[in-house]
Amino acid sequence: MAQITLKNIAHSYMEDPSKEADYALKEVDHVWRDGEAYALLGPSGCGKTTLLNIVSGLLRPSHGRVLFDGQDVTDMPTAERNIAQVFQFPVVYDTMTVRENLAFPLKNRGVEAATITERVQRVASMIGMERELDRKARGLTADAKQKISLGRGMVRDDVNALLFDEPLTVIDPHMKWELRTQLKHLHGQFGHTMIYVTHDQTEALTFADHVVVMHDGRVVQIGTPEELFERPAHTFVGYFIGSPGMNLLPAEVQGDRAIIDGHEVPLGAGYGDMSGKVEIGIRPEFVRLSDDVGLPVTIDRVEDVGRHRLVRTTMQGRPINIIASEGGPVPSENARITFDPSRINIYADDWRVEGRAV
Ligand code: ADP
Ligand code: MG
């Protein structure tokens, strides 16, 4: 296992990048701590695979260095980095049996036969393929083949890190949960440094203790699920995490008050006088419906979501979502809303501003 350091890493797929937009990965400076499980979360195209391939050595970064336990491995090929990587789509040897596929990474390293048998058995049970061990991989479904790929990634316990690039994409939904649980279990047992790439927030938040959120080639926040929920560092995190995401409203901020469309909203902290693009962010969970005080909204739709109701409203054409408890009354057309001041986040040019206690 290793601590992996990315020092001023940036990558462009162009030969002669000149401007920031030419970089698929803008500058990233990050330490993946030894033995931690991380999720790398972001929408398609934000640079997750690029970053992962730089860690594994499939890609040499245009700028910066990669260190494993302090040793510079930037120019070291993948094979020498001692890493297991599982890709989005299966990589298996069709002519080999499931057992031979699973044993392959161990055989390659000269592991003795008894250990191979024992490890293959363990992994086969984790991926639920004990009964298919002697079948040829050819002819198996994509789903089964991907399970073999996962198993191959998990079979060695002497790797520096385990990297998973959206590994459950082709797995059926029921099995996804099961396999994610197995991966978590594996981490608890062996404590590998793990990086799990996904575009699915539920997957990220349930798998990892630390979630690295990417947006447009940048790491915008690294935090626990609670931190991402309560204090999104960037408006993108607010909007991307949560269902639905954080409400964002343009506002004027003066000290500990915000003015939204001429209505005053008390804030839980002081911000001085702010200028430029200022927004207030409030999650739907912390918006309350009120009869007589607060911002006037038009109620567009009420949806039942499990034990809550999702109230879709608009204020001057701008959407504001509210999560209301099942029991409370919801007015039919017009209503007023208030925000829990301690749950409000303030953003200047999309980045969160820390308030001062008042
Ligand atoms: P993600 O894994 O988050 O979906 P990628 O790292 O694959 O994102 O891609 C980031 C950006 O780099 C995208 O705009 C993508 O089109 C571009 N890109 C990825 N791979 C290549 C490549 N081999 N050549 C050129 N552009 C690429
Ligand atoms: Mg990708």
Q: Per-residue pLDDT tens for 95-139?
A: 999 999 999 999 999 999 999 999 999 999 999 999 999 999 999
Give the model's confidence band at 288: pLDDT under 50 very low, under 70 low, under 90 confident, else very high: very high
Domain hosting 40: range is 4-240
Whether residues 206 and 276 fall in one domain: no
Residue of minimum CA distance from atom 1 in ligand 1: 45
Alpha carbon of 188 to those of 62, 162, 208, 310: distances in Å? Answer: 35, 13, 11, 37
| Residue 317: CATH number of its domain | 2.40.50.140
Query: Do residue 196 and residue 287 come from a single domain?
Result: no
CA of 12 to the centre of ligand 1 (A): 9
* Residue 332: per-residue pLDDT: 80
Please count the other Cβ atoms lying within 10 Å of the Cβ belonging to residue 166: 21
Q: Which atom of ligand 1 is nearest to the CA of 51?
A: 6
Which among 231, 288, 281, 290 is positioned nearest to 253, based on CA atoms? 281
What integer pLDDT is reported at residue 162 of this predicted model?
A: 95
Query: Do 224 and 268 belong to one domain?
Result: no
Is residue 45 pLDDT above 90, yes or no?
yes
Tell me what pLDDT residue 290 has.
Answer: 87
pTM greater than 0.85 (yes/no): yes
Separation of CA 214 and ligand 1 centre (Å): 13
CA 44 remoteness from chain centre: 11
DSSP states of 264-323 as a string? EEE-SEE--B--SSEEEEE-GGGEEEESSSSEEEEEEEEEEETTEEEEEEEETTEEEEEE
Residues 267 and 231 reside in one and the same domain: no
User: Could you tell me if 234 and 298 lie in one domain?
Assistant: no
Measured in Å, residue 45 CA sits from the centre of ligand 1 at: 6
Pick from 214, 240, 266: which residue ends a domain?
240
Q: Is the CB of 45 under 6 A from ligand 1?
A: yes
Ligand 1 pocket, residue 50 CB under 6 Å: yes
Reported as a single tens digit per residue, the pLDDT across 233-274 is 999 999 999 999 999 999 999 999 999 999 999 999 999 989
CA–centroid distance, 82 to ligand 2, in Å, is 21
| Same domain for 34 and 118 | yes
On whether both 186 and 121 belong to a single domain, the answer is: yes
Q: How many structural domains is the chain composed of?
A: 2
Domain membership of residue 22 (yes or no) is yes
Give residue-wise pLDDT tens across range 130-180.
999 999 999 999 999 999 999 999 999 889 999 999 999 888 888 888 888
**pLDDT number for residue 333:** 85
CA distance 102 to 97: 9
Q: Is residue 358 part of a domain?
A: no
Pair type for strands 218-223 and 210-215: antiparallel
Q: What is the percent of the chain with per-residue pLDDT over 90, rounded to a whole number? A: 84
Q: Which of 240, 265, 293 is a domain's end point?
A: 240
What is the biggest distance separating any 2 CA atoms in the chain, rounded to whole angstroms? 76
Output 297 or 209, whichever has higher pLDDT: 297
12 lines ligand 1 (CB under 6 A): no
pLDDT band, very low/low/confident/very high, at 78 (cuts 50, 70, 90):
very high
Does residue 83 share a domain with residue 191?
A: yes
CA distance 9 to 47: 12
